[in-house]
């Protein structure tokens, strides 16, 4: 599989800023956390249950010359936002960049087979948690800050039926993004969503990495002729976190490699 692995030079354009990346220990979240660290931010790496993966991410950030700390909170449960911010406050005195990345897809399930319990869990983790994490984080987020929500290309390209419930959770995130941008503009806080397509992560490993046919099909969907990798999404997030994006807010950024053309 052709991939993009080149690391950009460290510009330190986020020096002096503190970031929190939910779900920052693996996949897209880890790539974003590492990129923000290389750009100079002090990064809070949130994780749900895998402390080893979170520590590995923090160690990688520090090995590249950055600073990081870990934040544990199991999302989708009562008190998740409160627990997250309590853990964060013990290690930081404010926030400049919030990346709502943590999410689950629930697997590929036909609409007729989605259970109420599975539906509720998807919305609890993917929609309710970022809403209340953000709500409770606004008192910590400094003026001129950045909120970056990870959406999905499925909300614009039309979801496969077996990912309908998942796509609905991300559709809610799109509305959240556009509306919150209007609410926070007076504080010079921008709010944007980055929408990946299929990305080569553990979440997609069971069908993508195991099938040359699947890899070929996904690659063919992009004019760039390859499957996306986490660093592709991290680059977009780094732009949205930077001062360069100060005039961009309320936007849904297509990061599908052109697959929606």
Annotated catalytic residues are: 166
Q: Which residues of 243-254 are buried (b: 16+ CB within 10 A; e: fewer)?
A: eebeeebbbbbb
Residue at token pair 């599989």? 1
How far apart CA 227 and CA 217 sit, in angstroms, is 9
Cα–Cα distances (Å) from 65 to 203, 235, 236, 242, in that order, read 29, 18, 21, 19
* CA nearest neighbour of 98 among 41, 146, 131: 146
Is beta strand 190-196 parallel, antiparallel or unpaired with respect to 141-150?
parallel
For residue 80, the tally of other CB atoms under 10 A from its CB is 20
Measured CA to CA, the distance from residue 219 to residue 45 in angstroms comes to 30
Strand ranges (E), 48-117: 67-72, 95-100
Q: Which residues partner with 195 through β-bridges?
A: 254
Distance, in Å, from the CA atom of 39 to the CA atom of 146, rounded to the nearest integer, reads 15
Q: How far apart are CA 247 and CA 233, in angstroms?
A: 20
Question: What H or E segment, with its residue span, contains residue 175?
Answer: helix 164-184
Half-sphere exposure of 34 (CA within 13 A, CB side): 24
Three-class secondary structure of residue 21 per DSSP:
strand
């Amino acid at each position: 599989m052709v991939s993009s692995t080149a690391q950009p030079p460290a510009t330190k354009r986020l020096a002096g800023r503190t970031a929190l990346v939910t779900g920052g220990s693996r996949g897209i979240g880890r790539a974003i956390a590492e990129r923000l660290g290389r750009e100079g931010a002090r990064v809070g790496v949130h994780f749900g249950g895998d402390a080893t993966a979170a520590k590995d991410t923090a160690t990688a950030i520090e090995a590249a010359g950055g600073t990081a700390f870990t934040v544990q909170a199991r999302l989708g449960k009562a008190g998740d936002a409160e627990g997250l911010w309590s853990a964060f406050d013990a290690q930081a005195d404010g926030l400049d960049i919030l990346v709502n990345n943590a999410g689950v897809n629930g697997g590929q399930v036909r609409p007729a087979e989605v259970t109420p319990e599975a539906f509720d869990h998807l919305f609890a983790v993917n929609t309710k948690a970022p809403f209340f994490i953000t709500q409770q984080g606004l008192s910590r987020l400094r003026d001129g800050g950045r909120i970056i929500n990870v959406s999905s290309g499925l909300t614009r390209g039309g979801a496969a039926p077996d990912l309908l419930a998942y796509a609905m959770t991300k559709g809610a995130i799109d509305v959240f993004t556009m509306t919150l941008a209007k609410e926070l503009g007076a504080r010079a806080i921008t709010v944007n969503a980055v929408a990946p397509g299929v990305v080569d992560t553990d979440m997609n490993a069971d069908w993508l990495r195991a099938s040359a046919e699947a890899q070929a099909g996904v690659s063919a969907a992009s004019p760039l002729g390859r499957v996306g990798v986490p660093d592709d999404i991290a680059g977009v997030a780094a732009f949205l976190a930077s001062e360069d994006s100060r005039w961009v807010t309320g936007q849904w950024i297509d990061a599908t490699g052109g697959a929606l053309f």
